[in-house]
Chains A and B, each alone.
Chain A
Amino acid sequence: MKLYGIGCAIGLKQPIIGRVITEEAPTDLRPYSVLVWKQPNPPSDTSGYLALLSSNVVPCWPSRSPLIHSAKSLDYLSDGDVISVSPNGFVRTLYRKNSTSNFLLTTDQCNSFCLMCSQPPRQVNDFDRLSEHFRLIDLIDTETRELGITGGEPTLFKEDFLRLIRHCKDRLPNTALHVLTNGRLFYYREFARKLGEIEHPDIMLGIPLYSDVDSEHDYVVQARGAFEETVLGIQNLGRYGVPVEIRVVIHKQTYRRLPMLAEFIARNFPFAAHVALMGLEMFGFVHRNFEAVWIDPHDYQNELVQATQTLFLSGLNTSIYNHQLCVLDRRLWPFARKSISDWKNIYLDDCERCDVRDECGGFFQSAAKKHSDHISPIMK
């Protein structure tokens, strides 16, 4: 899946964010649009666009509209996609109309520092990206089914995070929001109350919880007091009617207490809308902490079965993500979901011979190098 491209920019003074169109647009839409032009000859009227984008080599450009030319293959762009273009000719896809997994990467900063973080945080001040996020929300298709809001930690925007959610509600009332957050800031009841007050019609906060015991959770997220903030944050969200999904990444530091964590969730968060038990993504810090976090999923099936049953029996909507069917205990198959975003999803060569490949969620691309030793095709 291609998400980046580069070409030669002419007349582009500052970065722009625009919606891809492949046919000439009426004048009123042009200030939001980047015209991707695939024909040999340029369109007759090039005025008013944010920019034009072409793979042709265009040595001479008389128009006042900026142009990015000589871009390698533009086939990956479709009408309605939203892209950003930098003055240096770098084209980045922010939103793909034909994808079901779009997300808004709000910030690279985070107040936790999880041992197995797949997108390690950076200590940068990127809060100025907020206007970019608002712009993106203005441009994406109003019929978009779901939009992820992720980071870093999106709530670090504080009041602006709430504005962003409100903007989504106003601009994209039919789009489900899935926010990935560590929930720590909802420890402050006011913050949770204000989010509840927005009354977004279809929002879910996905919040990771790694243990029923504070020190274990704090160790995994590498932040003292994080358990307290997250747990009471989830309670506050429940209090103000904000749907919460609890996400547990299973690895060497979390698998042992998984059954107890399931009981903890059932007793303390019976209002949770969903619980996701997730396999490790071989990305980011996982490489650095490989010894500390890697465990073959085959080796925690007992704990996973116990936890899943506890959650299911307690009436919680439970899913297993990022696990291959050949590694999962058969009792868990009904809970396994094909959860990996399309652009990260792969299958191994062995999988070609497997009879349940189509029902299987497969692997993260990153798992090509390291995965369970127990992958083997299932023959019916």
Chain B
Amino acid sequence: MGQIEFQPREYFESRGRYGLLPFRFMQFSDTQRLLVNEVGEHLFLTNEHFNELVSFRLDRHSDVYLDLKGKHFLFDSDSTVPFELLALKYRTKKAHLSGFTRLHIFVVSLRCEHSCHYCQVSRVSTDRAVYDMSPETASKALDLVFRSPAESIKIEFQGGEPLLNFNRIKQIVQEAERRAQESGKRVDFVVTTNLALITEDILEFLRDHGVVVSTSLDGPEFIHNPNRPRPGNNSYQLTIDGLNKCRASLGFERVSAIMTTTKLSLQHPREIVDEYVRHGFESIFLRNLSPYGFAVKTQSRIGYSMDEFLEFYRVTLDYILELNRKGINLVETYAQILLTRILTPFSTGYVDLQSPSGAGIGAAVYNYDGDIYASDESRMLAEMGDEQFRLGNVHSNTYEQIFGGNLIRSIVRSSCVESLPGCADCAFQSYCGADPVFHYASQKDMIGHQPTSEFHKKNFFIINYLLNLYHSDETIRKIFWAWVHNVPASEFLREVA
């Protein structure tokens, strides 16, 4: 062993100048810059180090230099590692694009016995002929669904109240199962319902076909009922009864709920969250009103500013975290989606916040009358008389015209945050997405003007808040990771005390 020579560290160091790899940055606090690379990895630098970095004066032996190199913010040799890894991670982040349209929403009826103030699309009517989807339309729509290259397809039933046209749901489920078997694809079903009309027969069918249920719960009775009026003013009771029936019949995990925030909700964050916990839910999705449909007309009654919503979001999230600390497991779904983007290399299939936008290429809506829209919001816009995002009709257009036409192309073109003004250089870009439908509806322009956009305001605030929380508190860090993995936070807090 005497003649063995070990080389010193310097022998392995590269001597070349360093170069920068793509990243975006912002002033995060008075003393700190936040840097986020092309695949969403982030780190903080002091202002001094940042200035040294960009003026190529960074000491190559410093920890900061090595940190930046390890996370692919800079490179200093002809090694292909940073490029190969960035490319792999970029593909992983954008993996949701590979299947094209995966979510297919069927509006089987526009009719509803509820008349919710914020509802964008429903009719209190008994005229089946006008507002229900016909068997022919359903069949034609399925032809298109199964033209999608996606290997795994999700069909969601919406309304109105879809259970009012349950025969159509049955037909679509059975036909889709048969076609899935023939084509070797996987198909999942979800029905979005207020549960008022649920019966044993319906439950039996949902159970037999593995259909999961998504319902609306806006909070305790004193919030839910005023938000969701119906004859008898008993929406809350019907929802809770229906929830219990579904859980008993389909399984506890097979039912989820979403909440819509109204002016009334703003005053009661704790009561709303407590209501979800009381009913054993392990997640809550804090959703703001969309500026579509009836919501605009009733803006003064139920509406609020984005600032008011974000204050509500912040307070509610804080309360949810407080509960998690105490061992009560509850996930806020929007935070969960964003945290997955911030903390992991993985793609998230959430169609409402993608780049390019999921409108059309991630999800499509088949309306009761056979019209196809790029998103749920698109058909709401159409209900207000603006058919800008109508991709075609199942009876008169081909798959190529609908999913390869000029409209869908222009939606994609207008919704790549990588190139949108205001988004292109935003530090949060890789966590965010575009919403051309929202911007068209609110600013009459698919691209939108970010400085005055409510969409921007919302996402910027929430991402910023989540990053602050993550880096400020050890316990919150663990809770957030538990959310990302969808495991009970109490387990994580116990495991890594």
Contacts and interface: CB of A to CB of B under 8 A. Distances in A.
A268 B85 contact: yes
Contacts of A288: 1, 4
26 contacts: A113-B6, A115-B6, A120-B1, A211-B70, A212-B69, A213-B70, A214-B12, A214-B14, A214-B81, A215-B12, A215-B14, A219-B8, A225-B79, A231-B85, A235-B88, A268-B89, A270-B344, A270-B345, A288-B1, A289-B6, A292-B6, A309-B496, A313-B478, A313-B492, A314-B344, A315-B485
Interface in B4-39: 4, 6-9, 11-14
B41 A267 contact: yes
A222 B66 contact: no
Interface string A99-138: 0000000000000010100001000000000000000000
A222 B81 contact: no
B292 interface: no
Interface string A280-312: 000000001100100000000000000011001
A216 interface: yes
Contacts of A257: 66, 70
Contacts of A216: 9, 12, 66
B254 interface: no
A313 B481 contact: yes
Contacts of A120: 1
B45 to A, nearest CB: 14
Contacts of B67: 260
B396 interface: no
Interface in A254-286: 257, 260-261, 263-264, 267-268, 270
B14 A314 contact: no
B495 interface: yes
A264 B485 contact: no
B84 interface: yes
Residue of A222, A227, A267, A289 with most partner-chain B CB within 10 A: A267
A368 to B, nearest CB: 22
B481 A314 contact: yes
B89 A267 contact: yes
Interface of A: 113, 115, 120, 211-216, 218-219, 222, 224-225, 227-228, 231-232, 235, 257, 260-261, 263-264, 267-268, 270, 288-289, 292, 308-309, 312-315, 331, 334
Contact of A222 (B7, B343, B485): B7
B477 interface: yes
Interface of B: 1, 4, 6-9, 11-14, 41, 66-67, 69-71, 77, 79-81, 84-85, 88-89, 343-346, 477-478, 481, 484-485, 492, 495-497
Contacts of A235: 84-85, 88
A232 B77 contact: no
B324 to A, nearest CB: 15
Contacts of B497: 331
A308 B496 CA distance: 9
A232 B81 contact: yes
Contacts of A263: 70-71
A64 B497 CA distance: 68
A32 B77 CA distance: 55
Interface of A, secondary structure class, is helix
Given A267-B89, A270-B346, A313-B492, A231 B70 contact: no
Q: A-B pairs with the 6 shortest C-beta distances? A: A212-B70, A313-B481, A218-B12, A219-B12, A215-B13, A215-B12
B77 A222 contact: no
Contacts of B89: 267-268
A292 B67 CA distance: 23
A225 B79 CA distance: 8
B85 to A, nearest CB: 5
A268 B345 CA distance: 8
A232 B84 contact: yes
Contacts of A315: 484-485
Contacts of B344: 270, 314
Nearest to A289: B6
A233 B331 CA distance: 37
Contacts of A222: 6-7
Contacts of B346: 270
Contacts of A264: 70-71
A219 B13 CA distance: 9
B495 A213 contact: no
A209 to B, nearest CB: 12
A264 B80 CA distance: 16
A309 B346 CA distance: 20
B115 to A, nearest CB: 45
B95 to A, nearest CB: 13
Contacts of B70: 211-213, 257, 260-261, 263-264
A334 B495 contact: yes
B477 A313 contact: yes
A124 to B, nearest CB: 14
A264 B85 CA distance: 11
Contacts of B495: 312, 334
